Amino acid sequence: MSEKPLQERRVIVTGGAGFLGRFVCQALRDRGVPQHNIFVPRRAQFDLTNQTDVTRLVRNAFGKEKCDLIIHLAAEVGGIGANRDNPGRYFFANMAMALHLIEQARLDGLHQRGGSFVQVGTICAYPKFTPVPFHEDELWNGYPEETNAPYGVAKKAAWQMLDAYKLQYGFRSAYVLPVNLYGPHDNFDLHSSHVIPALIRKCVEAQRRGDKEIVCWGTGSASREFLYVQDAAEGIVRAAETMNDPTPVNLGAGFEITIKNLVELIVKLTGFQGGIRWDSTKPDGQPRRCLSTERAEKLLGFRAAVGFEEGLKRTIEWYRANS
């Protein structure tokens, strides 16, 4: 996207200190981007929902030098419970961050000097009953699953903003949609985490306490696809290297597993000996999620490298060592 090779670019990575962000920053360093050319804004210094803070970030991240690439990972997001409790906040925060960052990058002339913007979207933007596997062309063919629709719609609106800015201003960008991520450094808070870290924590803690069972939300019938976080970071950096328009690109592993089978697998890998009780009063969320990954392979040369059981083992080992 940029006239400069990646290793010579100055990169702002919003959310760069987070779960996915630390792996994206490592992938940039592995490509030869020096640490001093990677700027990670911290929330204490920059409120990305505030226009003044975003202006200060884009203009001053590298002093008198200008940034060449913005990778926007920062998001306010959680699992089904957190989405249900915070629909207004999740819409506002995610919409405001993208809105201010994209517009400020345009005002700062990012695209005019060969720079670009990478927006990380979400598969929560897909319609609730999207045919499986999800193809990118289906993004507008229905309303998202209700519990995470505000978050998903905000992220999808950012894609439309990038598309409109390309048409009017020639703004360079990429838009990727990672499937559910998991791996070391994930959020393991039981209320706000996603399904894999929540299940790992439940099983490990229940094993430590000697509990006779764990309780899981829903019926277990819903299915999901999961991508190891290091693979997702690789896909994002490849998008930064190769894309110059916001054609949506799925990042996934190309398989799905029911929540029931996922729970049984994590129980086996953690060594928890107790039973599993399903609380069917809790929602299952979107019935199925599995992505078509053909476009990512064609446009980015991307395929997931880490097998699912191997990724789960690494994540469980990390949690045991750091919990």
Judge whether 151 counts as a catalytic residue.
yes
Number of Cβ within 10 Å of residue 74's Cβ equals 26
Residue 284: per-residue pLDDT: 81
Contacting residues for 102 by C-beta, under 8 A, at least 6 apart: 117, 119, 158, 161, 162, 165, 171, 173
Matching residue, tokens 């961050």: 97
Number of Cβ within 10 Å of residue 142's Cβ equals 12
What is the C-alpha to C-alpha distance for residues 228 and 180, in angstroms, rounded to an integer?
A: 9
Domain count across the chain: 1
Residue 36 in domain: yes
What is the C-alpha to C-alpha distance for residues 22 and 278, in angstroms, rounded to an integer?
A: 34
DSSP per position, 149-197: HHHHHHHHHHHHHHHHHHHHH---EEEEEE-EEE-TT----TTTS-HHH
Residue 84: per-residue pLDDT: 84
The first and second tokens of residue 175, run together, are: 């838009």
Q: Are 265 and 316 in contact (CB under 8 A)?
A: no
Residue 10 in domain: yes
- Packing angle of the helix pair 87-107, 51-60 (nearest 10 deg): 40
Residue 59 in domain: yes
What CATH number is attached to the domain comprising 36?
3.40.50.720
Helices (H) and strands (E) in the chain, counts: 10, 12
Residue 111 in domain: yes
Amino acid at 30: D
DSSP per position, 246-288: --EEEE--S--EEHHHHHHHHHHHHT--SEEEEETTS---SS-
Residue 165 in domain: yes
What is the reported pTM? 0.92
**Which of 228, 234, 276 has its CA nearest to residue 255?**
228
**Which of 155, 122, 118 has its CA nearest to residue 237?**
118
What is the C-alpha to C-alpha distance for residues 245 and 116, in angstroms, rounded to an integer?
A: 9
Residue 284 in domain: no
Residue 86 in domain: yes
Residue 44 in domain: yes
User: Which residues of the chain register pLDDT less than 50?
Assistant: 1-2
Domain that holds residue 136: 6-184+226-253+289-305
Helix (H) or strand (E) holding 224: strand 223-224
Strands 69-72 and 116-120: parallel
The first and second tokens of residue 74, run together, are: 């920062």
Contacting residues for 22 by C-beta, under 8 A, at least 6 apart: 16, 185
Number of Cβ within 10 Å of residue 268's Cβ equals 12
Contacting residues for 320 by C-beta, under 8 A, at least 6 apart: 204
Number of Cβ within 10 Å of residue 49's Cβ equals 18
Residue 1: per-residue pLDDT: 44
Question: Which one of 90, 126, 151, 165 is the catalytic residue?
Answer: 151
